[in-house]
Amino acid sequence: MEDFTERVVTILKEVPAGTVASYGQIARLAGNPRAARQVARVLHSMSRKHGIPWHRIVSAKGEIVIRNGEAAFEQEERLLEEGVPVIAGKRVDMERYKWDPGNDELPPHTR
């Protein structure tokens, strides 16, 4: 596995329940701010194998961008189970639920 891919997998596993992160945020944290699409590829190809909480990753606008209706529904359901409301079945309030890796003590909406 390439260094960047390893960093992405490690960071993705750190996103705590009750929060979300964007593809671009993960790419920046992994050292390549222009690699949001690579993060999406890692999620698609390695989530199951590495036990990655894929459902916690959304677009920078907080949108569920998965095109597969069944997977998008599963993402929404998993987020709801973790206490993250999904607006109109497709968007998360990033101001309230965005992961702050510098402050893992509490989810953002409870601080």
Q: Find the angle CA(56)-CA(58)-CA(64) to the nearest 5 degrees.
A: 105
Is the distance from CB of 10 to CB of 42 less than 8 angstroms?
no
Q: According to CATH, what is the number of the domain 3-97? A: 1.10.10.10
pLDDT at 110 over 60: no
Over range 24-37, report the average pLDDT.
96
Q: What is the pLDDT of residue 105?
A: 57
How far apart, in whole angstroms, are the C-alpha atoms of residue 68 and residue 22? 19
- Model confidence over 68-97: pLDDT tens digits? 889 999 999 999 999 999 999 899 999 999
pTM value is 0.90
Residue 106 pLDDT > 60? no
Give Cα separations from 104 to 8, 57, 67, 88 (angstroms): 18, 16, 30, 28
